[in-house]
Amino acid sequence: MKKYSIGIDLGGTKILAGLVNTETGEVLTSVKKKTQGNESIMEKISEAVEKTICESQITPSEISSIGIGAAGQVDRDKRILVHAPNLNCFNLKLGEILENQFKIPVFAGNDVEVATIGEITFGNGVGFKNLVCIFVGTGVGSGILCNGKIYSGVSGTAGEIGHIIIDSGGRPCGCGGNGCLEAYASRTAIEKRIIGSIKKGHSSVISKFLTENGSIKSKHIKRALELNDEIVFNAITEASEYLSNGIASIINFYNPELIILGGGLIEAVDFFYDITVKKAHAKSLAMPSAGTKITRTGLKDFSGLLGAALLEKYYAQEFK
Ligand SMILES: [Zn+2]
């Protein structure tokens, strides 16, 4: 197997692609693109791959595979993104299209499952056999490691922690249901709560940081908290309350050795991470709580990209 692979992390708001040395975990080049805009998602993914190859100055013949982790339900065998609620995508033939274009074998998986592969190979999950990676972003997703192997479930969709129903008939969710965890604890939910309060006439320092499409950067949430902004403080505190319910439920249900938390807000906003961890331990049963460590990702923004680049190796080991 050649040592270079391209990894693509297809999230709800951005595509991150990069060339990875799969032996060392070094990311040689990386390219970021927003998912919003006029071009189709497929065109953007293709462009990101093209730019990665171009910037890395490595010929396609030296690249072993392209791996892609997508935020949604993925058919790994057919390499199709079956449904991505946050991207409004159905039946996207990732494998076929990219293979035809670049003549490099393509592997696909769910974004957080792939990030989990990144973390267990080069991140904070190295050496653990039973863990759960939980990522908070546009949605809330998780990847499960069980006895040293990724657990994908019967239909391959295990780990959809974001769609655990926490409020019967509650807030609408991108999946079409109501009351799902991610409608309360995701970054999108936090933004909606802050913007809703501003629209009601409450003043917040965040007003001047709002982007055109109404999204809020993690660094601005951090800054608003430093300035004791009440609206942002309330939104973050509420989200941590719900997120810690979800994490405590996972600790009680699965009793893992380790939970790895990731995503922009978790990485950038210490207050959000700290209170969520504290509450998760306080709410879970004493025995599993004592046995479960909680930490942040070791690879930060690159967990998904690295894991995606490692998909070929992971599948080769899994099925040898
Ligand atoms: Zn849902």
Query: How confident is the model over 17-72, as pLDDT tens digits?
Result: 999 999 999 999 999 999 988 789 999 999 999 999 999 989 999 999 999 999 98
Look at the pTM and tell me if it is higher than 0.85: yes
Distance 189 CA to ligand 1 centre (A): 12
The CA–CA distances, whole Å, from 133 to 13, 285, 290 equal: 20, 20, 18
Q: Binning pLDDT at 50, 70 and 90, where does residue 208 land?
A: confident
| CATH class, 126-297 region | alpha beta
The answer, yes or no, to whether residue 213 has pLDDT greater than 80, is no
pLDDT given for residue 10 in this prediction: 96
Distance 107 CA to ligand 1 centre (A): 26
The answer, yes or no, to whether residue 285 has pLDDT greater than 70, is yes
- Tokens at 42, concatenated: 């497929």
Q: Binning pLDDT at 50, 70 and 90, where does residue 317 land?
A: confident
Pick the CATH number of 4-117+301-318 from 3.50.50.60, 1.10.3720.10, 3.40.50.300, 3.30.420.40: 3.30.420.40
> What residue segments make up the domains of the chain, in order of their start?
4-117+301-318, 126-297
Q: Ion ligand 1 — residues with CB under 5 Å? A: 163, 173, 175, 177, 180
Q: Binning pLDDT at 50, 70 and 90, where does residue 320 land?
A: low
pLDDT given for residue 45 in this prediction: 96
Residue 304: closest CA among 156, 115, 168: 115
Distance 137 CA to ligand 1 centre (A): 14
- Please say whether the beta carbons of 128 and 257 come within 8 A: yes
Distance 166 CA to ligand 1 centre (A): 10
> Do the domains 126-297 and 4-117+301-318 match in fold?
yes
Distance 276 CA to ligand 1 centre (A): 21
Distance 174 CA to ligand 1 centre (A): 6
Distance 71 CA to ligand 1 centre (A): 13
Distance 172 CA to ligand 1 centre (A): 8
Read off the pLDDT of residues 136-188 as tens digits, 9 standing for 90 and up: 998 999 999 999 999 999 988 899 999 999 999 999 998 899 999 999 999 99
> Listing from the earlier edge strand, what are the strands of the sheet with 149-150?
149-150, 140-146, 131-136, 258-262, 293-296
Most confident of 32-46, 96-110, 198-212: 96-110
